[in-house]
Amino acid sequence: MRKIIEKLRETGFLEKEEFICLIENRNKDSFEYMSFLAREERKKVFGNKVYIRGLIEFTNYCKNDCFYCGIRKSNTNVTRYRLTEEDIMECCKQGYELGFRTFVLQGGEDFHYNDDLLCGIVENIKKSYADCALTLSVGERSYASYKRLFDCGADRYLLRHETADDEHYRKLHPSDLSLENRKECLFNLKEIGYQVGCGFMVGSPYQTVENIVGDLFFIKELKPHMIGIGPFISHCDTCFAEFKNGTAELTLYLISILRLMFPRVLLPATTALGTLDPSGREKGILAGANVVMPNLSPVSVRKKYSLYDNKICTGDEAAECVNSLKKSIENIGYRIVVERGDY
Ligand code: 5AD
């Protein structure tokens, strides 16, 4: 195992069989060693800096019906909400004061926010906070729409590919969604000039080790600037209510693999990881992650944006979230910085 891990560090890549071996035969020793090397790699590029992104969950309406997701269209137990431009600007104001220099607008696929409306919001944020980066995470849109939003000032775009295997994709999504279109969106975003993030859930229903290795190969092909991975966590009102959650352990192991594959990539320790394990985000940083994304949404809507059960920080004010996170990051020898943190 050590030989394979060293090869991964030296070359940044492995054969399919080697990746499978690395994942299937993982043990405490390989976990610790990989995590140590990933931390070293991360230190070389980023020192002990951790970047923060302020997540604004501005709508939980969604036209899609993804089998795993709590805000899927057919979940009638969700109270739906939309934030107005004023609400969003207020979140940014609070976030700026707390030291955020990146705002992430995330929502379901909600075409109430057409290009005109969304461009207006993007322009307003970029005009008001010229030293900040703006990230969009609003799902699949046309090339023309992505282009307009980019031209209005959006800098980055998060669109997890969810799984790079066609058959697996169809087990997670209804038939009107396709992996082909998902991938096309990601390549379009890159071509337009966004800093792009893809990613997948760890331990999603029907996922095999081969699927995960397929994800690593796809990520290698896309060469994203950001990679978001987190454990799958079942939501009681979805088709996958009875499925087992992914594990923090495999998520952390994959974070280390990704750090060794892509030393410069922006890699968040996700909220889902923090939900499965109370110190998940800190462990994520220690496994090679370098980004955290605290919630800036108004407390009144937080519980309504439940993609999965038991999501953390749904009752806290933004300031509480950030201050406790700052402390716990410092306790493990890292520090949150006030910077855009571009790729
Ligand atoms: N568990 C974990 N992550 C989820 N997501 C959606 N539903 C779940 C779930 N049940 C992730 C998806 C999506 C991102 C915004 O949240 O990967 O891209």
- For residues 44-52, average pLDDT: 98
Rounded to an integer, what distance in angstroms lies between the CA atom of residue 254 and that of residue 242? Answer: 24
- Indicate whether 80 belongs to any domain: yes
- Indicate whether 276 belongs to any domain: yes
- For residues 83-104, average pLDDT: 98
Give percent of the chain with pLDDT exceeding 70: 100
pTM of the model: 0.98
Residue 11 pLDDT exceeds 90: yes
Q: How far is the centre of ligand 1, averaged over its atoms, from the C-alpha of 279 (Å)?
A: 19
Q: How far is the centre of ligand 1, averaged over its atoms, from the C-alpha of 57 (Å)?
A: 13
- Indicate whether 289 belongs to any domain: yes
* Ligand 1 atom 13, closest CA: 160
SS (H, E, C) the chain: CHHHHHHHHHHCCCCHHHHHHHHHCCCHHHHHHHHHHHHHHHHHHHCCEEEECEEEEEECCCCCCCCCCCCCCCCCCCCCCECCHHHHHHHHHHHHHCCCCEEEEEECCCCCCCHHHHHHHHHHHHHHCCCCEEEEECCCCCHHHHHHHHHCCCCEEECCCECCCHHHHHHHCCCCCCHHHHHHHHHHHHHHCCEEEEEEEECCCCCCHHHHHHHHHHHHHHCCCEEEEEECCCCCCCCCCCCCCCCHHHHHHHHHHHHHHCCCCECECCHHHHHHCCCHHHHHHHCCCCEECCECCCHHHHCCCCCCCCCCCCCCCHHHHHHHHHHHHHHCCCEEECCCCCC
- Indicate whether 342 belongs to any domain: no
- Indicate whether 282 belongs to any domain: yes
Q: Which residues, at least 6 apart from 138, have a Cβ–Cβ distance to it below 8 Å?
A: 105, 106, 107, 109, 110, 113, 118
Rounded to an integer, what distance in angstroms lies between the CA atom of residue 36 and that of residue 119? Answer: 43
Q: Work out whether strand 133-137 and strand 195-202 pair parallel, antiparallel, or are unpaired.
A: unpaired
Q: How far is the centre of ligand 1, averaged over its atoms, from the C-alpha of 340 (Å)?
A: 25
- For residues 58-72, average pLDDT: 98
The pick from 179, 245, 307, 311 for probing ligand 1's pocket by mutation, whose C-beta has the most ligand atoms within 8 angstroms, reads 307
Give percent of the chain with pLDDT exceeding 90: 98
- For residues 115-128, average pLDDT: 98
* Ligand 1 atom 16, closest CA: 307
The CATH number assigned to the domain holding 124 equals 3.20.20.70
Which of the four pLDDT bands, split at 50, 70 and 90, describes residue 316?
confident
Which of the four pLDDT bands, split at 50, 70 and 90, describes residue 246?
very high
Residue 327 pLDDT exceeds 90: yes
Q: How far is the centre of ligand 1, averaged over its atoms, from the C-alpha of 272 (Å)?
A: 8
Range(s) of the domain holding residue 53: 2-337
Atom of ligand 1 nearest to the CA of 137: 15
308 Cβ below 6 A of ligand 1: yes
Atom of ligand 1 nearest to the CA of 245: 1
- Indicate whether 265 belongs to any domain: yes
Give residue-wise pLDDT tens across range 170-192.
999 999 999 999 999 999 999 99
pLDDT recorded at residue 180:
98
Give the alpha-carbon dihedral of 252, 265, 173, 297, to 10 degrees.
90
* Ligand 1 atom 6, closest CA: 69
Q: Which residues, at least 6 apart from 262, have a Cβ–Cβ distance to it below 8 Å?
A: 12, 219, 227
Atom of ligand 1 nearest to the CA of 233: 1
- Indicate whether 136 belongs to any domain: yes
Which of the four pLDDT bands, split at 50, 70 and 90, describes residue 109?
very high
- Indicate whether 343 belongs to any domain: no
- For residues 212-227, average pLDDT: 98
- For residues 103-131, average pLDDT: 98
φ, ψ for residue 196, nearest 5 deg? -115, 140
Which of the four pLDDT bands, split at 50, 70 and 90, describes residue 292?
very high
Least confident of 81-90, 184-193, 238-247, 320-329: 320-329
157 Cβ below 6 A of ligand 1: no
Q: How far is the centre of ligand 1, averaged over its atoms, from the C-alpha of 307 (Å)?
A: 6
Average model confidence (pLDDT) for the chain? 97
**Domains of the chain: total:** 1
